[in-house]
Amino acid sequence: MPYLDLQRALGGLLAGESDLIANCANFSALVYTSLPELNWAGCYFLRGEELVLGPFQGMPACVRIAMGRGVCGTAAARRASVLVPDVHAFTDHIVCDPVSRSELVVPMLKDGALVGIFDMDSPLPDRFSAADQSGMEAAVALLMGACHL
């Protein structure tokens, strides 16, 4: 599903709903079932100085990630997306699923404040491109725009 189609479908799911958890649950399911070659898609929420697991699709995951640790913690600390073609080459990669080979993490920002991150993993190296990154950044912005915190 191209990202424009994903955003249209997301708009329908978000219509009339502002709850963060409900919207993140549907967003995770939409991404996981719409985009090919993913083995995990989900949210982590900022709680103090760590990220705590939220709604996701895929294998069980690490529950808590310190800010600055791994791909997710790095994206959260930078408040910028991190695209990793080969997780084995990423210093301090946290292995939740040994099958994962590439990863894309997008920060979830609301009014400039970090709410958490959205993470996608793939069993294929080089699965994610700059187009995936910009498409997911736009989708996450749409998601966060609909949520009231």
Q: Which domains, ranges and CATH numbers included, belong to the chain?
A: 3-146 (3.30.450.40)
- pTM attached to this predicted model: 0.95
Query: And the tokens for 138?
Result: 């736009």
Amino acid identity for residue 129 in this structure: S
Handedness of CA 58, 64, 66, 69 (dihedral sign): negative
Question: 139 and 8 in contact (C-beta within 8 Å)?
Answer: no
Question: 136 and 127 in contact (C-beta within 8 Å)?
Answer: no
Q: What is the CA radius of gyration of the chain?
A: 14
Give the chain's end-to-end CA distance (angstroms, integer). 29
The per-residue pLDDT string of the chain (149 residues; one tens digit each, 9 = 90 and over) reads 579 999 999 999 999 999 999 999 999 999 999 999 999 999 999 999 999 999 999 999 999 999 999 999 999 999 999 999 999 888 777 767 778 999 999 999 999 999 999 999 999 999 999 999 999 999 999 999 999 98
